[in-house]
Amino acid sequence: MKDDMDGRNQVEALRRMLAGNLIWPAIAFLLVALVLFSSIRIGRVSGEQVGIMLNKINGKVTVIGQSGVRVYNGITNDFYVLDRTLQTLEMTEVVGQGDRSGRDDLKIKTTDGSDVFVDLKVQYKIDPEMADVVITTSGLGDQYKVKWARDYIRSLSRNYLGELTTEKFYDSSQRDVKILLALEQAKKRLSPFGIDIDSIVIPRKPHFYQEYEDMIKNKKLADQAVLEEQSKALAAKQKQLTLIVEETNKKNVAVEQFEGQMKQKVISANAEGERIRKQADAYYDQVTIGAGAGLYQQQKEAEAILAKKKAEAEGIEMMKKALEGEGGRNMVKMEYARKLGTMKITGRPFSISGSVERFEHLQGAETIGRQAPKK
């Protein structure tokens, strides 16, 4: 009986011992399962984000470019998302308007020692393909916004704008040149870190200390007065040039009119000369033709006269032959007798003078000689 009791006690002790040895592994398993279940995390990536999975054990970074849900172990991994859209960082003096609650504009020291206050607006985005570079070089979270988009751009802009004088700061084109240089430098330096600076602008007019603002205002008024005087002088000069042009045009018109009149006179003179030449040619032709006709007529008349004179000469020659010898004397006698028949002789039939005079009458013979050709 006693042996039976001892045997049961031993069995019970063995059962209790076995039960105690099994409960601890179960408890350990339950604890491990509980820990694993509690370390499960869920990460979400939207279309405007890029996901980053960081392995805490080996430091490996995995880029998650597609949107969706990711389940990971929070004990061994960390999950982050970065904004892949175009972001704007505004640094302004207006309290409560920029990315910081207080005044956040940029103070610049010009080359001539003045302080100028400038607002900056920066637009930037990350390269989704280089999200792992952004994390490894800038740190986790939004550290790249502070280190690069803010601090580096402020420093770069301060350096370039600080190359201007105070007066040149009022020239927007001068400021734009320096900001453009800062933008080009930022793109060059930050692109290897996966950050793309899209633009850097000065949204508001820079301002100075009030005393200097008043000085600049007075100077601008003086400059404006100078510009007004220069504008008046330029207007007067322009008016002078206009008058010169008008008078030159009038002179050119008068010269052209005079040249036109002279050309017209030359044309008229040439036409008149041509007309006179043609008249002269016509007169020459007329005179030449008339002279030829007259010459021909005179030749004919000369020939007729020659023939007539020749005939008269022949008649005279025949008469001469006829009058030679007795026939001629008989004609003289007949003419003498005819003349005597018509003559009346008066006087005394005696002479007181003792001289002897000879009477000779030759007129009849000369008359016959002159009138013979008319027969």
Average of pLDDT values for 352-368? 53
Do 198 and 114 sit in the same domain of this protein? Answer: yes
- pLDDT exceeds 80 at position 111: yes
pLDDT given for residue 230 in this prediction: 83
Do 90 and 176 sit in the same domain of this protein? Answer: yes
Domains contained in the chain, number: 3
Dump strand ranges (E) for the chain: 40-45, 49-55, 61-64, 68-73, 77-83, 87-91, 106-109, 115-118, 120-126, 195-201
Do 106 and 167 sit in the same domain of this protein? Answer: yes
Do 146 and 46 sit in the same domain of this protein? Answer: no
DSSP 201-268: E--S--B--HHHHHHHHHHHHHHHHHHHHHHHHHHHHHHHHHHHHHHHHHHHHHHHHHHHHHHHHHHH
- pLDDT exceeds 80 at position 163: yes
Confidence (pTM): 0.48
Q: Residue with structure tokens 């017209």?
A: 264
Tokens of 304: 């007729």
pLDDT given for residue 368 in this prediction: 45
Do 116 and 192 sit in the same domain of this protein? Answer: yes
Do 71 and 122 sit in the same domain of this protein? Answer: no
Do 112 and 69 sit in the same domain of this protein? Answer: no
- In this structure, is residue 197 part of a structural domain? yes
Domain range enclosing 65: 39-81
Do 44 and 149 sit in the same domain of this protein? Answer: no
- In this structure, is residue 338 part of a structural domain? no
Q: Look at residue 25 and give its three-state secondary structure.
A: helix
Do 96 and 204 sit in the same domain of this protein? Answer: yes
- pLDDT exceeds 60 at position 120: yes
- In this structure, is residue 224 part of a structural domain? no
Do 3 and 44 sit in the same domain of this protein? Answer: no
Average of pLDDT values for 137-161? 88
End of a domain among 189, 208, 227?
A: 208
- pLDDT exceeds 70 at position 213: no
Top-confidence residue, 222 or 374 = 222
CA distance 27 to 32: 9
- In this structure, is residue 354 part of a structural domain? no
- Name the percent of the chain lying above pLDDT 90: 17
CA distance 178 to 162: 9
End of a domain among 208, 243, 264?
A: 208
Do 106 and 164 sit in the same domain of this protein? Answer: yes
- In this structure, is residue 178 part of a structural domain? yes
- In this structure, is residue 68 part of a structural domain? yes
- The model's confidence at residue 51, banded by pLDDT at 50, 70 and 90, is confident
- In this structure, is residue 137 part of a structural domain? yes
DSSP 187-202: HHHHGGGTEEEEEEE-
End of a domain among 208, 230, 259?
A: 208
For 286-329, write each residue's pLDDT tens digit.
777 766 766 777 777 777 787 777 777 777 777 666 666 666 66
- In this structure, is residue 130 part of a structural domain? yes
Torsion of CA 241, 246, 250, 251, to 10 degrees: 0
Do 164 and 65 sit in the same domain of this protein? Answer: no
